[in-house]
Structures are given as structure tokens and as C-alpha cells.
A and B are shown apart, each in its own frame.
Chain A
Amino acid sequence: MAKTKKVVQFMPTDIKEELLAKYPPKVARKRAKQIMINEATESEAPPEILANVRTIPGIITMRGCTYAGCKGVIMGPTRDIVNITHGPIGCGFYSWLTRRNQTDAGEDGENYMPYCFSTDMQDSDIIFGGEKKLAAAIQEAYDLFHPKGICVFATCPVGLIGDDIHAVCKKKKAEFGDCNVFAFSCEGYKGVSQSAGHHIANNQVFTHLVGENTEPRTEEYKINLLGEYNIGGDGFEIDRILKKCGITNLATFSGNSSYDQFASAQHADLSCVMCHRSINYVADMLETKYGIPWIKVNFIGAASTAKSLRKIGQYFGDKKLIDRIEEVIAEEMPEVEAVAADVRPRTEGKTAMLFVGGSRAHHYQDLFSEMGMKTLSAGYEFAHRDDYEGRQVIPNLTVDADSRNIEEIDVEADPELYSPRKKPEEIKALEDAGYQFKHYEGMNDQMDKGTIIIDDLNQYEAEKLVELLKPDIFCAGIKEKFSIQKSGVPMKQLHSYDSGGPYAGFKGAINFYKEIDRLVNSKVWSYMKAPWQENPELTGTFVWE
């Protein structure tokens, strides 16, 4: 099908109305608050969006659960901890190698990523409790592998039957002496999405692991990279660039991470936050307890990568580093610009929609704009209002009944280790120069007026949006991919990258430009109708040539 250039036939308000028209009244009222027309301008604050609230039953959400957010996302990518799922087999099975957290097994070679460990609870465990089996499983894992750490993850039934997984872990840890054992109460029904699992993982890894390695670190320009999971090698590319600039990344939370990285994170002088949603809790706690400031960075997009590097340079304020960063950018950019210039005539003016977990729906807009593509609509599965509207709304956030039971832990300045990395006057000087600490402006701010922002998009709305706005590309996950493609619209997975990547950093930008060019200009979309379907009526007889 030769794509006819579409004009936007609907006003955003009409589209919102269309999306809501089919719903029962109660559902429509709720969804109306989760679908907003972006009106952010320089002078006015964007309107409020309803986010991080319970999912509507039966609506066909894209969301997953707390266990997925905790084990699957945050702790799963750590290579030298044995992660045991305490539950029936499914949860462990489905989170086994299905997120593309690439890993370098390192010199010690410890890497449990290709394994799936589970207590495989049976009905007898549900009836009589699973604590004994869990203790035995931890013992068997210890005897087989002698890992540095064993983590235990609760699944739905564990909370209901009252297994005390924390007590079991504490006891085993004391018995072993040389293996850290701790647990996560990340039952799938907690909270309303993966998000609760992030928070639970942050709390426990901070409480039980961060700060364990007290050996001082002497490298220059030490940072932590928070909320980067090395999907398709993103973290490898960022590490390549950081290394080239002379910046030391002590700990990535948690792509290609190791036990010791978590344990040494308190030695860094700056935390750089990629995925705000999943890891801002650790960023705050590192600051409160140890005095490490944090900044938001974004290594998705070449310009954003350069900007983030400069932000790091400016923080350390050292000419040697600042110069080196400029050299690296100057070295890397020509190839990026050449590829961008090549694809641009084929991508310019095309349109995209992005509906991804809790951060990429924002970050990837940079890459699209570098190709001259416009984002018509975007949203998150499970982000909170601060990810949409910016962190300034945090004081106004209310915690509703569904999320109230997610533990908030109190962290205080460590009496011995707390040391502010910058003097107040240094901080002030940076801030006066426009530097923003502990700041994230959210997704809405960057999006054009009149774009449509949708929280917890469901199957019906996805189909409807595609039908009404006919984007040139739709970005989301595996569950959405094939229904969108069946309707004739190219679909790019921004969770798994469709086995591609990396897309972060300079090399990632090149990969992404080429990939999007391939997708939006693929000839396959012209094959959807057979010749006899294009011209179904016989108007004459064929003559053999």
C-alpha cells in the first residue's frame, strides 16, 4: 500500500472522546483521567494525569506484576547472585532469560544468569507452608555453587500462606557466614504494577548489600549508573564511552552488575540516573546516607548522550575531564551525523507512538526527533505522576489504598560515612549556572502541545489510536507487537529491541536510525493485498502474451 500522506483528521479532544466512547460509564470516567491532551507551554503548567492506580479488570492491560518489577527487572541482571524464586514454577520460568540483560561473566567467571532457580512449590507446600523447603533450597544452592549471595523472591501465594522468608534467609545467612542471603516480599498482587517491585528491590538491595565493600576506591571521576539494565548491550556501549572519557563507573544498577558493584556503590561521587522510575529510590537513599548527589542523565540519543557527558564533566568541574569529554564527543559524532543525514530524507516528517514501561516512552523521543520524526502519542505502563509531570509534583502525590502497603524505609545520614561530595557553595554555584540536581522534568514537558498522553494503555485503545492516527511506527512490547503489525503498521519493540541493539550511546543511535529506517520504509507493508484483491472486478478477458 503506497501510504497516502495522512492529515490528522481528528482534533485531540475528538480522539480522546473516541477512545472513551465504548466504555461502561465507570470505566470511561477513570480512563478520562488517565488520557490527557498535552497542553504544556512555557507559561502554563501541564494538566494533571492519573497514574500509578489500580488496573481496570478485564481491560487487557499491558502491565505485569511486582515480582516482575523486582526479580525480573532489578535483581535478575546480577550475574553472581543466585536468585531463587519461592513459588510455583511459572514465575521463575517466565523470568528465565526473557529480558535481554546482557552479561560479561568477568574474570571470576561467576554467572548464574542462564539458570532458573525455583522452590517449585507444590500443593503440600501451600497447605503446610513452604519455609522448610525454602531453607532446604537455599542450602542446596549454597552447597552446589557457593555464591557470594543468594536472594529469595516471594510470589503470590507466599504472602497468603504466611511463609516468613526473611526469617529463613536471616537464619541461613548466619549459618553460612560467607554468603549474604536476603529476601524480597515482592508478591505479585502488591501495588498495582511492576513499579511496586522496583521499590521493594531498591529498599532491600540498599539495606542488605550497598556499602558492604568498605575497601576505598581510588579511581578518578567515580560515578554510579542507576537504572540501566544493559538490554541488548546498552550498558556495554555506555561503559565504553564513559571509559573513553576517563570516567569510572563503580556500579550499574543493575545491567551487567555484580555483587561487588552493589557493595561498592557508596564510594562514588555522583549518581547518574537513567531510568528514573525504577531506581530513584536508591538515588535518594545514596544521597541521604552517604552524601552522593544525583542527576538525571539520558544516554538514548546522540545529542542526549553528549549532553549527559557534559553534565558529568561540569559536575566534576575538572578541565582535564571536560576537555576529554569534548574530544570524545568530537570523535564519535561525525559517524552518527553521517548516518542521521543518510536516513533523514526517508524518515523526516514521519510519526511515532511510544508506549513503554516507565522511562523509554520518554527517552526514545530524542532518537526520533534526531531523525526528524514526530511523536504523536506516548505513555507509560506503570510510571507515576512525577515521570509524566516532573519531580516538582512529588509533594502533591497521594498514595492510594492499593500502594499504601509498599514499605517506605527510613534512611539517615551514616554517622561515619556521610560526606557531602560538594560544599554548599559549590552546589549553589552549579545551580546558579543552571545545573539541576535531583531533578527530572518528566515526559510531558518535552512533548508538543496537542499530543496525547495515555497512562496504562490497553489493547482496545492501542488499536483505536492506530486506526485514528495511523502512525508510521508504533513502539511498545511483545504483547502489542503482532496485533499492531497485523493492522499494517510497523512495530518496534522498545523493551526487547526485537533482538537488536544496543540503542544507547553513539553507536546505539546509529543502530537505531538504521533500524527505524528499515522498518518504516520496508516494502512488506505494500504486500498486504493480493493483485486480485486490489482489483476484484473482472473488466475484460486476459490475453495470453
Chain B
Amino acid sequence: MLLRHTPTEVKERKALMINPAKTCQPIGAMYAALGIHGCLPHSHGSQGCCAYHRSALTRHYKEPISAATSSFTEGASVFGGQANLLQAINNIFTVYDPEVIAVHTTCLSETIGDDLPQIFDKAIKTGKVPEGKTVLGCPTPSYVGSHVTGFSNMVKAMAQLAEPSGKKSGKVNVIPGWVEPCDMAEIKRLAGLVGVDITLFPDTSGVLDAPLTGEYKMFPDGGVTIPELKACGDAVGTLALGEWCSADAARWLDSKCKVPCSVLDMPFGLAATDRFIDVLRTVAGVSVPDSVAVERGQLVDMISDMHQYFYGKRVALYGDPDQLISMVEFLLTLDMIPAYVVTGTPGKKFERRIKELCADKPFEVKVKAKGDMFLMHQWIKNEPVDLLIGNTYGKYISRDEDIPLLRWGFPILDRQGHQYFPTVGYKGGLRLLEKMLTLFLDRKDRDDSEQTFELVL
């Protein structure tokens, strides 16, 4: 038993977090910034944060993650980090020549109160930002919210580049939230099928799934461009996928640039994808082609074909709020039981939403925001589940309790495929079903007696 010190008896903890189901803001901001074309993320703090965030993202994507840091020393930590950031901006443009530097902060620079806009202003006035290049940024205090909050803050900073011209472009902004590069590509593909011209931001497809060619490009071809971001203010509407990840940016565009927004769930599973396609069609005023309905029908077909294996299965899920909400809804669509739902990200709204989704079901869902995996494990010890869904850290519970783990979310450090095969949309739904079924049926094959072991399932 790896987690042998986890007792069955649940005692309330007020101060000690054990095995978090979240991490801190800046890594989210770093990930979002990588979805800007030609962008070097910059961490304004001491360099350990930047090293940790780059390592975590690299381990998840098996891709290079470049980011710079202000490398605070003790002196800067006491007297302010302006000089460090100015030097950094100069060095970055001279040595690495990005189109954009996207700065986020850490608990260090936030505690001492460094003022980013003032430092940017100084950088521009002292000629450290070359003509045509962009520096943007946002505060991302690690002691507020989670990595999801940091992602949202950087996405909002991207939206704030909007410069409405007063003339509508006919395009639709889609803010995908924290999903994989392949998910972003899938959202673009679906929009293309429906026939809607979208601006997707951030967009890490083409950035964090680069080919091996013998030539390393620090700034790959993908990512949303600065002109595209500036033009966001001219869109006919914004679809924000995920309240926690995307809504702030969309609401800012709505109130400041009069681009109406619609906050939807992330399009994981049947119902959430249905709503995404339906709203997209309505905003753009187009009709949905049959090819999309065929993909949808395939997903419904697979649900009906294999329903016996999903029905009534109990699941424990942990991860980020937007993803969990859609996944819980998908599990309900399959007549499964989302028994325990835990996110480390704070928000009573989350608990309410999960409870609403399960309101008329014949079981009680245990849900906790600002919870941790230690608590979830204790729940499992008291009443077991058939499946775990979450990031790699669940493998310790999976092994100890002999429960299959569907790796989904961030970070996945020990398996491959997640950055290439989407789980959004109808196609993504098929992949989730395939993965889930493989886990259940492998388990059945392992556990069935020789007498009941069967070829056809």
C-alpha cells in the first residue's frame, strides 16, 4: 500500500492540505500564453516557479516549454523587481526575439506589490520594447484560486488587447478554456464543419504538438496572433467554454467592446457538445450540415451498443471545475453514477452546479470544492467506486484500492496520446467511451473465472 497512512475515518481538516487537486496560478497563465503566436511567457518572480512550471508542462506534453523569468534575488524581493523585469525584457528581445512577451506574476512579486502596467510603460518609454512587438501581462497571485484562475487571468489579458474598429467582422470568438492542443484543433474543425469563421484564443495547437524535423523552433507556427486578438472586439459574439477558464475574458469583451457573449460548458460529452454546436449555429446564423449529425449519431450509437457496461457504475472524479462539470453530465448521460467529485479550485458555485446536475437522481453525490485527493481517497475507502477519472496523481489510489484509472485532465505525466487525440466534441466523446470501455473490459477479462471467460464482449 503506497498510501497506507490514509485512514478510513474522515476528520475535518482546517489547515493541512494533503494531496492537492489543484496547483497554483502562474502555470495556467504560462499555458495560456503559449497559445499566442510567437510568444515567450515570462514569470515575474524568483526563478524556481518558472523552472517548476516549465517542467510540469513539459512532462505533460513531452514538448519543449520555453519561458523566461525575472530571477528575483533577496534584494529585489525587498526593494521591488522593476529593474529585473526591465533587464529581462531587454535581454529577451535581444537574444530570443519573440513577437510577444506575456508576463505573469508569482506570490513573491504579488506580495511585494510590483505594478506590471507601470513597469511595461517604463519598458516602452525607455526603448526596451522594439517597434511592432508586444508586451502584455496580468497578475497571477498563487495564493488566490488555482492554476485555472491563472489561466483565466491570462486569457482576459489577451482579450484586453481588443481594439474595436466599430465595424463587425462577422467572426465569432471562441475561448476554449484549458483543454489540450488537440481539443483546440477539434473545436476549430467542428466550427469549420458548421461553417463558422472563428477566432480561437488561446490556441496551443501547432505549438505544443510540433513535429520532429531536425530543426528546433522556439516559436512554432501555431497560436493566435496579435492582430487576431486586436480584431476580437469586432466579432459578432463570443462563446466562452467554461465558467472558470473563459467567462471573465468573454464578459470583459461583452461589457467593454459590446461583443455579446454566451458562457457554455466545455464541450465534453454528448449534451455539452450539442449545446456548443447549437449556440455556434445560432450566433453565426448558419445551418448545421449533416456531417456533424452523423458524428453525433455515431456517439449515440456507441452509447446504445455498450450501455450495459456503463450502467450503474460508480465513479470518483477529481480535477478542474469546468472539465468536471461536463464530465459529470456525460457520466449521467451514460447512466453512470458520479459518486465523488472533488476539485481543489475554490468556488461554492461548483458544488451547487454538480448537485443540480444530480438533483433528481436516485443517489447522493458527494462533492467538494477546495477539497483534496486525501479526502476523496477516504470517501473511497468508506464506499468504493468502479472507476477513477483524473490526472496521473490518481494512480496511487488506483493501485492501492485496485480501481481502474481513466487519465484525463492535467497533468498526465505517465501516459501518451492525450495531446494528440481530442476528448472534446462527438469524436472526443467516442474516445472517452473507448478508453472507459477498455478499462472496464480489461478488468472483466482479468477477473472472470476461466469458466466464464469469453471471447466476444
| B13 interface residue per 8 A CB criterion | yes
In the complex, the answer to whether A58 meets B68 with C-beta atoms within 8 Å is: yes
Question: Once bound together, how far apart are the Cα atoms of A187 and B49, in whole Å?
Answer: 12
| A394 interface residue per 8 A CB criterion | no
Nearest chain A CB to B144 CB, angstrom units: 5
In the complex, the answer to whether A486 meets B210 with C-beta atoms within 8 Å is: yes
Nearest chain B CB to A115 CB, angstrom units: 6
Write out the residue numbers on chain B whose beta carbons fall within 8 Å of the beta carbon of A460: 95-96
| A64 interface residue per 8 A CB criterion | yes
Nearest chain A CB to B207 CB, angstrom units: 13
Write out the residue numbers on chain B whose beta carbons fall within 8 Å of the beta carbon of A155: 107
Among B69, B90, B107, find the residue whose CB has the most chain A CB atoms closer than 10 A: B107
Which of B25, B26, B55 makes the CB contact (< 8 A) with A479? B55
| B456 interface residue per 8 A CB criterion | no
Write out the residue numbers on chain B whose beta carbons fall within 8 Å of the beta carbon of A97: 393
Interface string of B51-92 (1 = CB under 8 A from A): 111111011001111111111111111100000110111111
Q: What total of chain A residues lie within 8 Å of the partner, measured CB to CB?
A: 92
Which of A89, A94, A119 makes the CB contact (< 8 A) with B344? A89
Contacts A189-B72, A189-B74, A402-B73; is A120 near B5 (CB within 8 Å)? no
Write out the residue numbers on chain A whose beta carbons fall within 8 Å of the beta carbon of B53: 90, 94
Which of B67, B76, B144 makes the CB contact (< 8 A) with A189? B76
Nearest chain A CB to B17 CB, angstrom units: 4
Write out the residue numbers on chain B whose beta carbons fall within 8 Å of the beta carbon of A68: 48, 51-52
Interface residues of A in 16-59 (CB under 8 A from B): 22-24, 27, 54-59
| A316 interface residue per 8 A CB criterion | no
Closest residue of chain A to B4, judged by CB? A109
| B457 interface residue per 8 A CB criterion | no
Closest residue of chain A to B413, judged by CB? A98
Nearest chain A CB to B166 CB, angstrom units: 38
Question: Once bound together, how far apart are the Cα atoms of A376 and B75, in whole Å?
Answer: 37
Interface residues of B in 366-409 (CB under 8 A from A): 374, 393, 396
In the complex, the answer to whether B212 meets A189 with C-beta atoms within 8 Å is: no
In the complex, the answer to whether B17 meets A114 with C-beta atoms within 8 Å is: no
Write out the residue numbers on chain B whose beta carbons fall within 8 Å of the beta carbon of A135: 15
Question: Once bound together, how far apart are the Cα atoms of A114 and B24, in whole Å?
Answer: 20
Question: Once bound together, how far apart are the Cα atoms of A57 and B95, in whole Å?
Answer: 12
Write out the residue numbers on chain A whose beta carbons fall within 8 Å of the beta carbon of B63: 482
Closest residue of chain A to B55, judged by CB? A478
Question: Chain A interface: which of B39-47, B228-236, B289-297, B437-445?
Answer: B39-47
In the complex, which range does the number of interface residues on chain B fall in?
A: 35 or more
| A392 interface residue per 8 A CB criterion | no
Closest residue of chain A to B24, judged by CB? A90
- Total A-B contacts with CB atoms under 8 angstroms apart: 265
Contacts A60-B66, A156-B46; is A463 near B108 (CB within 8 Å)? no
Question: Once bound together, how far apart are the Cα atoms of A56 and B92, in whole Å?
Answer: 11
Contacts A57-B85, A161-B111; is A117 near B66 (CB within 8 Å)? no
Write out the residue numbers on chain A whose beta carbons fall within 8 Å of the beta carbon of B62: 482
Which of B4, B24, B69, B143 makes the CB contact (< 8 A) with A57? B69
Among B47, B54, B90, find the residue whose CB has the most chain A CB atoms closer than 10 A: B47
Write out the residue numbers on chain A whose beta carbons fall within 8 Å of the beta carbon of B262: none
Closest residue of chain B to A122, judged by CB? B143
Question: Once bound together, how far apart are the Cα atoms of A295 and B277, in whole Å?
Answer: 69
In the complex, the answer to whether B5 meets A116 with C-beta atoms within 8 Å is: no
Question: Once bound together, how far apart are the Cα atoms of A362 and B53, in whole Å?
Answer: 27
Which of B18, B42, B51, B108 makes the CB contact (< 8 A) with A117? B18
In the complex, the answer to whether B95 meets A59 with C-beta atoms within 8 Å is: yes
In the complex, the answer to whether A24 meets B5 with C-beta atoms within 8 Å is: no
Question: Once bound together, how far apart are the Cα atoms of A483 and B26, in whole Å?
Answer: 22
Which of B59, B92, B106 makes the CB contact (< 8 A) with A478? B59
Question: Once bound together, how far apart are the Cα atoms of A94 and B24, in whole Å?
Answer: 10
Write out the residue numbers on chain B whose beta carbons fall within 8 Å of the beta carbon of A57: 68-71, 84-85, 87-88, 91
| A333 interface residue per 8 A CB criterion | no
Given A55-B71, A57-B85, A157-B111, 6 extra CB contacts under 8 A: A56-B71, A84-B16, A126-B107, A188-B45, A402-B75, A479-B65
Sample of 29 A–B contacts (CB below 8 Å): A24-B91, A27-B94, A57-B68, A58-B68, A58-B91, A88-B24, A92-B20, A94-B53, A94-B56, A97-B393, A109-B4, A110-B5, A114-B3, A117-B16, A119-B17, A134-B15, A141-B16, A143-B11, A157-B111, A160-B77, A459-B96, A459-B218, A463-B216, A478-B59, A481-B58, A482-B63, A482-B64, A487-B215, A529-B214
Q: Which residues of B contact A (CB under 8 A)?
A: 2-5, 7, 11, 13-20, 22-27, 42, 45-49, 51-56, 58-59, 62-78, 84-85, 87-92, 94-96, 106-108, 111-112, 141-144, 146, 210, 212-218, 344, 374, 393, 396
Q: Which residues of A contact B (CB under 8 A)?
A: 1, 22-24, 27, 54-68, 84, 87-98, 105, 109-112, 114-123, 125-126, 133-137, 139-141, 143-145, 155-157, 159-161, 187-192, 401-402, 405, 459-460, 463, 477-479, 481-488, 528-529
